[in-house]
Amino acid sequence: MNTVLINEIETCFKEAFKTDPLLIFSPGRINIIGEHTDYNDGFVFPAAVDKGIVAAIQKTDADSSVAYAVNKDEKITFSLDKIKPSAEGRWENYVFGVIAEIQNRSKKLGNFNIAFGGDIPGGAGMSSSAALENSVVYGLNELFDLGLTKNEMIIISQKAEHNYVGVKCGIMDQYASMFGIENHALLLDCRTVESKPYEIDFKDHQLMLINTNVKHSLSDSAYNDRRSVCENIAELLGIKALRDATESDLETIKDQVSPVNYQKALFVIQENNRAVEASKAMEAGDLERLGQLIYQSHAGLQHQYKVSCEELDFLVEQAKLNNKVLGARMMGGGFGGCTINLVAKDEIEAFSEAASKAYQEKFNKACSVYFIELSDGTHII
Ligand code: GLA
């Protein structure tokens, strides 16, 4: 864990609020495969990482509460009985959303102060937002003895995102951040919200992330659009979610949907199958197969689901030039953020140098390479 960050957040809290806080770490996540399948009740394959949000939180006798975003050096004072969303895109909506969802469940909160900061850049596609939501709900649950289970907490985090941030996200990010297991990825069935842990040891290969350092606007509205396309097609098929459809089911309604939306639904069906296949490849230790599935996932996200972007596609092309990179794809919602790459350990340095140089030349800006450890979910430090 990032001890520098922990010390910084603790110190900032103490200076601002003159008392000792409860400290919480809530991780971001990667996703090996299974993208845009979660809100279709399908399978995803995420893991919590050793980067995320550190939150310091404590009750106060004051008649208002304070949230302090240390990275932004911004503090906001608010009343618990007047919680409402603030301007779009503002960080406090993650905090306010969680408070509102807790209050909706008739749980009683008292005033509190929270300071937080993180070591994943926003827009990296590593779910700093779910990490923040989970840290807030986890901390409040502890301080005010709310008696929430982890499953209830992640629903609160997800609803905060729906209702206060305006992104109709699935459950993958909040789940992975809350339930992560050190050195494991979780094959999560988003219908039952139950997962099977897989120990991740790729022997002479490893995962590495490359951040494009871009986040294109419109990503939130495009996300909600994709979700409603999927829901409409599921309705047309007379099923609960696309998870229940096969490719031949989809064929039967081909003339009732636009070609573009047909491809989107087809992508979801195929990506869901790929996530399950990936788990089998991992059980068999077949990394070549896993890599192929990862490349296929990207192709689908790029051409069928259309949530990639030029920068992500370029980095995946760079990976394909190197036969020691077994697979690469965009990760998360899309339109920017990171690629996830499955790379031979002895090639890591050469590949990251080559990709970084090519990216700089092409876009006249730097990408960032991250190495991650798989970590436990949200917990008290
Ligand atoms: C975002 C959402 C998730 C999931 C991914 C795409 O990260 O928050 O719920 O839908 O995009 O797989």
Structure confidence at residue 88 as a pLDDT band (50, 70, 90) = confident
What residues contact 343, with CB distance under 8 A and at least 6 apart? 205, 206, 207, 208, 319, 324, 325, 326, 351
pLDDT reading at 43 higher than 80? yes
Q: What confidence tens digit (pLDDT) does each residue in 136-186 have?
A: 999 999 999 999 999 999 999 999 999 999 999 999 999 999 999 999 999
346 catalytic, yes or no?
Answer: no
Residues with CB under 6 A from ligand 1: 35-36, 38-39, 127, 169-170, 172-173, 332-333
Beta strands in the chain (DSSP E): 22-31, 43-44, 46-59, 65-69, 74-78, 112-118, 184-189, 194-199, 205-215, 325-330, 336-344, 368-370, 379-380
Residue 122 is predicted with a pLDDT of 81
Structural domains of the chain sorted by starting position, each given as residue range(s) with its CATH number in brackets: 3-198 (3.30.230.10), 201-371 (3.30.70.890)
pLDDT reading at 40 higher than 90? yes
CA distances from 318 to 136, 247, 363, 370 (A): 39, 31, 14, 16
- Write the single-letter amino acid at 221: S
What residues contact 366, with CB distance under 8 A and at least 6 apart? 213, 356, 359, 360
Whether this prediction's pTM lies above 0.75 is answered by yes
Q: What are the backbone dihedrals phi and psi of residue 13, each rounded to the nearest 5 degrees, phi first?
A: -60, -50
Q: 305, 304, 298: which is closest to 225 by C-alpha?
A: 305
What residues contact 258, with CB distance under 8 A and at least 6 apart? none
Per-residue pLDDT, averaged over 228-235, amounts to 98
pLDDT reading at 350 higher than 90? yes
Structure confidence at residue 220 as a pLDDT band (50, 70, 90) = confident
Distance from the alpha carbon of residue 106 to the mean position of ligand 1, in angstroms: 28
- Return the residue whose CA atom lies nearest to atom 9 of ligand 1: 170
Distance from the alpha carbon of residue 125 to the mean position of ligand 1, in angstroms: 9
- Write the single-letter amino acid at 247: E
Residue 1 is predicted with a pLDDT of 75
Distance from the alpha carbon of residue 169 to the mean position of ligand 1, in angstroms: 6
